[in-house]
Amino acid sequence: MRLWLFLFGFVLVAPSSIRSDDHQEENVAVSPGIYHVDPPVAATIGFFLDDWQPKSFITPATREASVAPAMAGGHLPDGRTPGVADTITVDASAVITRIPPSTFGHNANTWMTAMITEPTFMTHMTRLHPHIIRWPAGSGSDAYFWNCGPGDLPADAPAMLLDKKGAPEKARYFFGKTTGARSASLDDYYMMLQETGNEGLFTVNYGYARYGTSADPVATAAHLAADWVRYDHGRTRYWEIGNENFGDWEYGYRIDTTTNRDRQPAILTGSLYARHFKIFADSMRKAAAELGVTIYIGAVTAESAALWWGETPTRKNWNADMMKELNDKADFYVVHSYFTPYNKNSNAAEILYDATTVPGRAMRYVTQSLTANGAAIKPVAMDEWNMFAKGSDQQVSNISGVFAVIVMGETLSNRFGLAARWDLLNGWAGGNDHGLFSAGDEPGIAKWTPRPSFYYLYFLQKMRGDRLVKASVQGDTSLRAYASTFTSGELNVAIANVSATARTAIIDMQHFVAGHRYYWYVLQGGDDNGEFSRRVFVNGHGPAAVAGGPDDYAGIPAWSAATDKGVVVTVPAYGAVILTIDK
C-alpha cells in the first residue's frame, strides 16, 4: 500500500502499492489523528484511472487581496461568522475517487482546419491540456473513411444515403486523407495530439456496416476499423464503435434494403448493433494483439429513458436489446448528453439546475439498465456533453462557463470514467454555437478567441487536485461546491453560484491543517446581454472585445490572503471562485 502522512502540512509518500486485476486499488493516508483510505476504484471508472498520477500544486503568481469584513475575526452567539451567509464544509479525509485525467476531455472535428497550422489554437490547447481529444466528429464519424481522400471512396460506399424520413440524399462523407488548410487529416490530428501533449479517442465508422453495398458490409466495415488499429500502432487506447446509432438522424439507422446484400432490416435495432459490435471488436482486438498493445472498445448506450424531442422503438428499447445481445463484450459504455430541453430558450436557472442533476440521473439509468439486463457494470464515458439551450446566446455565454464547472464536478461525483465537451470549433449560428473557440464568423471576434467556458475550464484544471473529496454547503442553496486534494498536500475547492446574487462563504476544513496562505481566482460575466453575458472577467481582467475573456489569462495573478482569520470568499452572481489552500 501507499502511505501518506499529513502532519502540519507535510506529506510523506511510501513508494509501494498493491493492486488487483479488477482495479481494486487502495491507498492509505494519514491526516492529523485520522486514517483514511482511497475507496476501491469504482466499476464505472475502472481502467480510466490506469494513467492517474499524483499531482503537486504549483503556487501561481499572486496579488494580495484586501481583507473582507467577514475575515476580521469573531463569531455571533450562534457560532456564525459575521457577514458570512454560507458555510462550505470540506472533509479532506473523505475521498470519493482519485480523479481520472480523462474526465477533462474535448471533441475535435475534421472541419476545424488542419489545427497544427494554427499557432493560436495550439497554444490554447497546450495550456488547457484536456488530456483526451475525441476524433473525428459526432455523427460525421459514421461517414468517416480514415484511409481515403475526396474522390477516393470505396466502391461499396453509395453516393446516396437515406435521411431520417427515408428520403435519399447525397452522402456527406468525411476523409482521413485531406489536404489544405480548411480540413484536418488523420495525420494532422495525430500531430496535434503530440505537439499539445494530449491523447486520442476514436469513433470508428459503424454506419458503413449498414449502408455498405458489398456482399458482407459488416465484415468490410470491421476490417476497415481493424486496419485503423494497425495504422494507429498503439498510439490510442480508447475506441468506440459508432456514434448515437440509436438515433434516426444517424447514417446507418435506416438503409436502402434494395442495395443491401446481407439481408439487414431497414431500421437498426440495439440487438443488431450488438451482433455487429462483436464482429468489429473481434477484428480490432486481433489487430491490437498482433501489435502487442491494449485497446478498450466502447459501445453506444442511451443515457435516459426518453429523448426530449420524441422517441422511436429503436431508441426506447436500445439499452435492453443491446445489453442482452452484447454479452459483456464491450469494455465500456458511451453516453452523450446535451442536458437541457431540445431547442428551448432556457434561462440560467434551468440550465444550471440541469447541470447539477443530469449526470446523476444518467449514471443511475445506465447502471440500472445494465443490472436489469444481466450485464456487468463497466466503465461509463460521457464523451459528448453540452447544452441544447438556444435563442439567447446561452452556448457562448458566461453561464456556459458556470455550467461547465458544475458538469465537471457532477460527472466526477457520479464516477464517470471519461467526459468530453462538444466541441472545440463549430459555427456562430447566431449565438447557438457549441464551439469552445470562435470560428471567425462571430461579428467583431477574431478566430480562435476563447469563449467564456474556456476560462472556467482552464482555471479549474489549473487549481484542481488529484483526489475528489467530500464537500457540502450549509446555508443558501445557490452554491455548488466541489473539493479536491493534492498528493503534495494542498486543498482545492471550486464553488459555482447558480443565483443572480453574490454569496459570501467560509470554508470549514475538516481533517486538514491549513498552511499560511490561500489563493483564488474569481470568474464572472459582464453587464451585457442580461443573464447571458458573452464576456468573462478573471480577477478583474476582462476582454478588449465584445466577447470572450482576457488575452493574458495565463499570466493573471491569483488573489492571495492569509488563512489565520479563516478562509472566506465572495462568489459573484452567476460566477465561480476556484481556490487552493496551502498545506
Residue 11 reports pLDDT greater than 60: no
Give, for 250, the enclosing helix (H) or strand (E). none
Q: What is the pLDDT of residues 440-464, one digit of tens each?
A: 999 999 999 999 999 999 999 999 9
Question: DSSP characters for 204-235?
Answer: E--THHHH--SSSHHHHHHHHHHHHHHHHTTS
H-assigned helices in 110-185: 119-128
3-state helix, strand, coil in the chain (%, to 5): 25, 25, 50
Nearest to 207 by CA among 157, 168, 170, 257: 157
Taking the C-alpha atoms of residue 195 and residue 184, their distance in angstroms, rounded to an integer, is 15
The three cell numbers of residue 523 are: 470568474
Mean pLDDT for all residues in the chain: 91
pLDDT band at 307 (very low <50, low <70, confident <90, very high): confident
170-190 pLDDT, tens per residue?
999 999 999 888 999 999 999
Q: Give yes or no for a cis peptide into 136 (omega within 30° of 0).
A: yes
The percentage of the chain sitting over the pLDDT mark of 70, rounded to a whole number, equals 90
SS3 411: helix
With 70 as the cut, is the pLDDT of residue 421 above it? yes
- For 339-359, what is the mean pLDDT? 97
- pLDDT in the model for residue 66: 76
Q: Torsion over CA of 11, 17, 23 and 24, rounded to 10 degrees?
A: -80
Q: Which phi and psi angles does 419 have, rounded to 5°? A: -145, 140
Contact status, residue 13 vs residue 38, Cβ threshold 8 Å? no
Q: Are 517 and 560 a contacting pair, CB within 8 Å?
A: yes
Kindly indicate the confidence band of residue 13, based on its pLDDT and cuts at 50, 70 and 90. Answer: very low
Residue 123 contacts residue 543 (beta carbons within 8 Å):
no
- In this prediction, residue 27 carries a pLDDT of 52
pTM of the model: 0.93
Q: Is the pLDDT of residue 14 over 50?
A: no
* Grid coordinates given for 175: 476523409
Can you name the residues that pair with 336 across neighbouring β-strands? 384
* Closest to 215 in 3D by CA, of 287, 150, 162, 155: 155
CB neighbour burial string for 207-228, b if at least 16 within 10 angstroms, e if fewer: bbbbbbbbeebbbbbbbbbbeb
| The dihedral sign for the CA sequence 506, 511, 517, 519 | negative
Domains of the chain in start order, with CATH, are 52-99+465-581 (2.60.40.1180), 137-175+198-330 (no CATH)
% of the chain exceeding 90 in pLDDT: 88
* Model pLDDT, residue 10: 31
> Looking at residue 504, what is its pLDDT?
94
